Structure 1
């Protein structure tokens, strides 16, 4: 039996919205609220909606390199809205966006070189773990600007874009403390990832600021893809923590599933938080308390940064502020007020 392709009309019918509203949410239009966009993307992801590629010819373009566990071709994936923001901003300036998924071997070999070496390339955006030094040398030889998501590289025309990871994790740890949690664990992605390292350091610093003890046994590292979460989250739970800070929504949702398979009830027995505010966090059971990164804005900002660097403006980094999204995955043990506010 053939599987029916989900349409924009199907999503509109499910949500009781106008088809035009759903279309705007999926295409990145700015004249709808973020709350509406979140509802539409969450529903689209749950229903399995897939975006149809658009084929438009441009004389100038930017290249987006997708590396590692970042995915972008479905509305519920992390990279989707970043690409959407890039495409929307670029289209306004008559510039195309070429998306290239790249492997570690390709990063080292330079098979992508012809994509960026043409005279019509305005710059590159890199989404993924830290790029191989050979890749950076190739970009350097072309003297084109490079914007990298949540990474730092040694190249004069490179700049970093993303949300303030340290501030987001700090807010989350404070939020848990304000709801009565003193024993807080940490579940990260790959240990050598800059994002994991920065978010772990923010977690550790936030505990110290609150006078809480860090239990090293309650700190584990895994994969952003959520592979193998069970053998990491259960040892954390067994330390007696009342809450776990997960540094991505995929990790958080996987952690909830594995905890409940093991007999825990979330949040009654243990609370779990995420990061990113992907659609999956909205339709998870329970719905995940998380940190919102405006990924469309990240994409648009990346494009603006490329344009500014092409105009001779020096930029090192642009860091956007994340926002706490409170849902149902954190238990209220006791109400507290942060010391600096208790005056």
Structure 2
């Protein structure tokens, strides 16, 4: 196990200087402290400053540009709440830490965790291009990622719902209603979960014996472009149903169809993904694949606790659930 002396020897400085840097002494410059922390991480130093504190500390890290969590109607609010419901009774302090790309570029993930004395992290809202996504590949800190999968690092785990199951349920329900031509609208495939759902759509269509080629999918970075370019194309192709990557896309699709003179679900059925709080209140109410976000938060703690106890859990997927509401019906004959 790496010691303070090992860090001192590596940098050619005194053991006392290393100790001061690890304990936030005011007479150590920020530059030197950063160098010492980075070296500590490089050498695998894990004996943090917990002897000074009675509470064990965890953090929920939220990419603030991608995911909202502060209010009850925000998508990740229940995820954070579920995590805290499990972790705080177990004796952990939990900090919810908003981060952006700038912070990730300034400080590596492991240095951030060491600086703040966090024993583990639950990570929300990260796209594939985030700087810390590379750090997660080599981190030794127990880290659970929601809707992201790090391959080959036993210190990390992936928590989410079974999107293959969810898409299979959605396509199967539409087929049972009589739909044959089903399209898929998605945001750009710049995140792991968007790639998973895109692939799951085509797999589900194939498993249900329905035709689907690349023209059955429309992906755009901007929601407006998806609605103005791909949705009219689907309607021109004679699609009778559309599955959307997220409920926000599905809600926008309902509005766009109505503006184009189509009635939902009489002329076209629409299914979303996630079951965000607005779904029962769209017009018509939105059929969607539900994620139980409180249970996802609890599963995040379960996976993190396992990692911290030396059990290298890889993936925890909750069952998906199709919630049928008024935006779907049998196609017109």
| TM-score range relative to shorter protein | 0.7 to 0.9
Q: Is contact 2:109-2:136 (8 Å) kept?
A: no
Q: Quick check: 1:58–1:94 contact (8 Å CA) kept in 2?
A: no
1:229–1:258: 8 Å Cα contact kept in structure 2?
Answer: no
Change (3 A) 1:278 1:136: closer
- Contact residue 249 and residue 281 of structure 1 kept, 8 A: yes
Contact 1:218 1:237 in 2 (8 A): no
- Is 1:64 aligned to residue 56 of structure 2? no
Shift of 1:234: 2.4
Q: Which residue of 2 aligns with 1:182?
A: 180
Q: Which structure's CA Rg is the greater one?
A: 2
Residues in 2 aligned to 1:138 and 1:205: alpha-carbon distance in whole angstroms = 31
Q: 1:267 aligns with which of 259, 265, 268?
A: 265
Q: What is the aligned length?
A: 277
CA displacement, residues 295-336 of structure 1 (integer Å, 9 cap, x when unaligned):
1011011111111111111111111101111110012239xx
Cα distance change on mapping 1:180 and 1:276 into 2, 3 Å:
same
Change (3 A) 1:180 1:138: closer
Which stretches in structure 1 are left out of the alignment for 5+ residues? 1-56, 335-343
2:9 aligns with none
Q: CA deviation at 1:82?
A: 0.5
Counterparts of residues 155-166 of structure 1 (less than 5 Å): 155-166=153-164
Matched, 1:203 2:162: no
Contact 1:59/1:120 (CA < 8 Å) preserved in 2?
no
Q: Following the alignment from structure 1 to structure 2, what is the Cα–Cα distance between the partners of residues 174 and 270?
A: 16
Distance 1:123 1:131, change over 3 A: farther
Which residue of 122, 146, 149 corresponds with 2:146? 149
The question of 1:120 aligning with 2:107 is answered no
After superposition, the C-alpha distances for 1:69-96 in whole angstroms (9 at most, x for unaligned) are 2211222222111011011111211212
Report the more deviating stretch, 142-151 or 97-106.
97-106
Deviations 1:20-40 (A, max 9, x none): xxxxxxxxxxxxxxxxxxxxx
Q: 2:238 aligns with which of 237, 240, 243?
A: 240
Shift of residue 281 of structure 1? Answer: 0.8
Q: Between 131-140 and 251-260, report the one with greater CA deviation.
A: 131-140
- Residue equivalent to 2:99: 102
- Cα deviation, residue 252, structure 1: 0.6
- Output the aligned Cα RMSD: 2.4
CA contact (8 A) 1:167 1:322 kept: yes
Give TM-score scaled by structure 2 length: 0.76
TM-score (norm 1): 0.74
* Superposed structure 1 runs of 4+ greater than 6 Å apart: none
